[in-house]
């Protein structure tokens, strides 16, 4: 029944858009009649089919915009609510449809996706899917997976992909393999293919937080920051104590100039793993960038307590002291940096400027 509906949807869309080669001129703009209930259902099921086929938010958005040309977002949301109410009242559960609605909500599709996911959660809790008994991977699959991981750690990304491919040929239902294959592709800068691998993993397990977090990283590499942020948020929702998405979420928010939110994300990462230097370093850089120099110095001091030979930290600390007109301390900090890295031009510059300021200050005091 579901397949027949989708076939009908396909025919409907071919008739609707099949002959459109470009946007018509204003005087030829078609005057579409209001959508009826059956039209909404056809179009919505087509949208869900594309989600099921693995379309990500980047591909879904233009398609969704074409739907909103026929009806407003508010009208679509109202229809989804009516549709969802009918599904909840039905005596015939449809877990496949509910799963597609849930996945739509993971793709940053606005209020339409949010409402779809809310109804999906109700449908899945009303008629929970009985999970199939998990079959542990064979020894051969485990060996291939570990071999791929070892090759990845050695920087042999193509070889790792080949190992993962052999494992996938035997067990295509293991999201962990798809996720690690995506990581290897990310390292090779094959970002779109990496996203497709993460999506395969998420199709198998929608709340797989590692795949969601890695997906965010790849989207960041593509410069698609809002989508990356959404993916990190999904990872955090699935596993609130996961360090990586909190740290990377902070980096995205900094790039988006949402500085206070970025600091909050770094603080959460610090709370989760206080001994990891990365969030301390990121927060110190952010505070330096926004000229909160006193707070930044405290962060640089923390970084240096963990990594005393960090020349960059000594340099940035010296820069903060310079801007606070604490010139002798700035010189001392820059000297520390230069003892570690004698060619550090930034440290040389701050040291030189600080010495000039000290000399000028001494001259003023002498002339008084």
Quick: pLDDT tens for 15-69.
Answer: 333 333 333 333 334 455 678 887 888 888 888 888 877 777 777 888 888 878 8
Q: What percent of the chain has pLDDT over 70?
A: 88
Q: When comparing pLDDT for 125 and 293, which is higher?
A: 293
pLDDT at 246: 97
For 179-238, give the DSSP string: HHHHHHHHHTT-HHHHHHHHHHHHHH-TT-HHHHHHHHHHHHHTT-HHHHHHHHHHHHHH
pLDDT at 96: 77
* Confidence class for position 203, pLDDT limits 50, 70, 90: confident
CA distance linking residue 342 with residue 10, whole number of Å? 67
Question: What is the pLDDT averaged over residues 134-161?
Answer: 92
Two tokens, residue 276: 């990891």
For 69-115, give the DSSP string: TTS-HHHHHHHHHHHHHHHHH-SS--HHHHHHHHHHTTS--HHHHHH
| φ and ψ at residue 334, rounded to 5 degrees | -70, -35
Q: When comparing pLDDT for 257 and 60, which is higher?
A: 257
Question: 0.75 exceeded by the pTM?
Answer: no
In 3D space, the residue among 232, 181, 183 whose CA is nearest the CA of residue 209 turns out to be 232
CA distance linking residue 87 with residue 264, whole number of Å? 40
* Confidence class for position 1, pLDDT limits 50, 70, 90: very low
How many helices (H) and strands (E) the chain has is answered by 19, 0
pLDDT at 12: 36
Quick: pLDDT tens for 150-172.
Answer: 999 999 999 999 999 999 999 99
Question: What is the pLDDT averaged over residues 124-136?
Answer: 65
pLDDT at 23: 35
Two tokens, residue 246: 């909190």
Residue 279 has pLDDT above 60, yes or no: yes
CA distance linking residue 224 with residue 255, whole number of Å? 11
pLDDT at 16: 34
Q: Contact 262/253 with Cβ under 8 angstroms?
A: yes
pLDDT at 92: 73
Q: Among 7-11, 234-238, 329-333, where is mean pLDDT lowest?
A: 7-11
pLDDT at 32: 58
**Which residues 6+ apart lie within 8 Å of 325 measured at CB?**
357
Q: Contact 270/283 with Cβ under 8 angstroms?
A: yes
Handedness of CA 203, 208, 210, 215 (dihedral sign): positive
Q: Among 53-57, 68-72, 195-199, 201-205, where is mean pLDDT lowest?
A: 53-57
Residue 267 has pLDDT above 80, yes or no: yes
Mean pLDDT of the chain: 86
pLDDT at 332: 98
Question: What is the pLDDT averaged over residues 332-349?
Answer: 97
pLDDT at 185: 97
- Owner of token pair 């001494």: 362
Q: Contact 99/144 with Cβ under 8 angstroms?
A: no
pLDDT at 6: 42
Residue 243 has pLDDT above 60, yes or no: yes
Q: When comparing pLDDT for 255 and 40, which is higher?
A: 255
Q: What percent of the chain has pLDDT over 90?
A: 60
CA distance linking residue 299 with residue 306, whole number of Å? 11
Q: When comparing pLDDT for 190 and 46, which is higher?
A: 190
pLDDT at 52: 76
- Owner of token pair 């199709």: 203
Q: Among 86-90, 132-136, 287-291, where is mean pLDDT lowest?
A: 132-136
In 3D space, the residue among 337, 327, 332, 329 whose CA is nearest the CA of residue 357 turns out to be 327
pLDDT at 160: 96
CA distance linking residue 324 with residue 245, whole number of Å? 34
């Amino acid at each position: 029944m579901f397949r027949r509906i989708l076939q009908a949807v396909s025919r409907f869309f071919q008739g609707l858009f099949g002959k459109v080669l470009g946007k018509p001129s204003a005087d030829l703009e078609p005057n579409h009649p209001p959508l009826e209930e059956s039209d909404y259902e056809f179009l919505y099921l087509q949208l869900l089919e594309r989600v099921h086929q693995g379309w990500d938010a980047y591909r879904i958005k233009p398609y969704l915009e074409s739907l909103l040309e026929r009806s407003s977002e508010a009208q679509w949301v109202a229809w989804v609510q009516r549709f969802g109410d009918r599904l909840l009242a039905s005596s015939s559960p449809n877990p496949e449809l509910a799963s597609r609605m849930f996945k739509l909500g993971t793709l940053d599709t606005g209020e339409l996706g949010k409402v779809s996911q809310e109804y999906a959660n109700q449908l899945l809790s009303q008629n929970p899917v009985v999970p199939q008994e998990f079959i542990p991977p064979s020894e051969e699959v485990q060996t291939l997976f570990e071999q791929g991981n070892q090759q990845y750690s050695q920087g042999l990304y193509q070889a790792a992909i080949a190992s993962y491919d052999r494992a996938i040929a035997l067990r295509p239902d293991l999201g962990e393999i798809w996720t690690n294959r995506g990581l290897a592709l990310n390292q090779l800068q094959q970002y779109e293919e990496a996203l497709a691998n993460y999506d395969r993993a998420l199709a198998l397990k929608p709340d797989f937080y590692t795949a969601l977090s890695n997906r965010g990283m790849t989207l960041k590499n593509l410069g698609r920051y809002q989508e990356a942020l959404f993916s990190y948020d999904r990872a955090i929702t699935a596993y609130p104590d996961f360090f990586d998405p909190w740290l990377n979420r902070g980096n995205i928010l900094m790039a988006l100039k949402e500085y206070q939110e970025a600091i909050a994300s770094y603080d959460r990462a610090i709370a989760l793993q206080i001994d990891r230097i990365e969030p301390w370093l990121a927060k110190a850089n952010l505070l330096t960038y926004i000229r909160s120099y006193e707070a930044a110095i405290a962060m640089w001091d923390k970084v240096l307590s963990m990594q005393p030979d960090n020349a960059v930290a000594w340099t940035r600390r010296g820069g903060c002291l310079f801007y606070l007109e604490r010139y002798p301390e700035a010189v001392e900090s820059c000297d520390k940096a230069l003892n570690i890295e004698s060619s550090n031009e930034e440290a040389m510059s701050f040291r030189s400027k600080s010495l000039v300021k000290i000399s000028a200050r001494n001259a003023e005091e002498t002339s008084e």
